Amino acid sequence: MIKRLLCAALFLATALPTYAGFGEVARAIDRHHGMHRRWLPGLGIARFLVWVVRPKGVHDFQLVTYEGRGDVDPQEMRALMQSNAGEGYTPLVRVWSRKSGEWSFVYARSQPNSARMELMILTHDDDDTVLVRVDVDAAIIARELGDPRGVSRYARQ
C-alpha cells in the first residue's frame, strides 16, 4: 500500500506542471503594502480554452491583476521579480519611466527538452499592476518578433 502511495505521489509530482516562480512573485506582490488582487471573472474558462485551442503557439497562461498604490517603486519591484522569479529565469526587458511612473519587466526561461519557453511579465501603470506568465512555442515567438509588422497585425486581431 505504501509503495502504491509513493508511486502515485511521484507520478503526480512529475505529471503536474510546476510554476513556482509565478506563484512566488504573486505572493511577494500580495505582501507588498497597499496592493490588492483584483478578481477577473471567466479567467479560468479562458485558460482552459487556451489549453484546448493553443492559439498562435500559446500553451498556457496565468494572470493576476493588482490595484492600489500608484507610487510603486520600480527598483523595489525589479528586486522582487529578480529574487522570486525562480530558477532559470533571466531578464529580457527591464524598463521604467520616471516621468509617467510606468514600468515593465520581462523575464524568460527555456523549458528543458522542449522547444517551448516561458515568459513572465510584470508591468505597472497608474494604479494597476499586472503579472502574466505565458508558456509559448519559442519558434513562433521568434518568427513573430522577427517581423514587427506581423506582431502589430496579430496584436490588433
Q: How far is 119 from 72, CA to CA, in rounded Å? A: 22
Cell of 2: 505504501
CATH class of 19-156: alpha beta
Cα separation, 102 vs 123, whole angstroms: 8
The percent helix, strand, coil of the chain (3-state, each to 5) is 45, 30, 25
User: Residue 1's pLDDT is what?
Assistant: 56
Residues 101-157 pLDDT 10s: 889 999 988 887 888 889 999 999 877 899 999 998 888 877 777 765 554 454 444
53-81 residue pLDDT tens: 878 888 899 999 998 766 778 888 899 88
The domain ranges of the chain are: 19-156
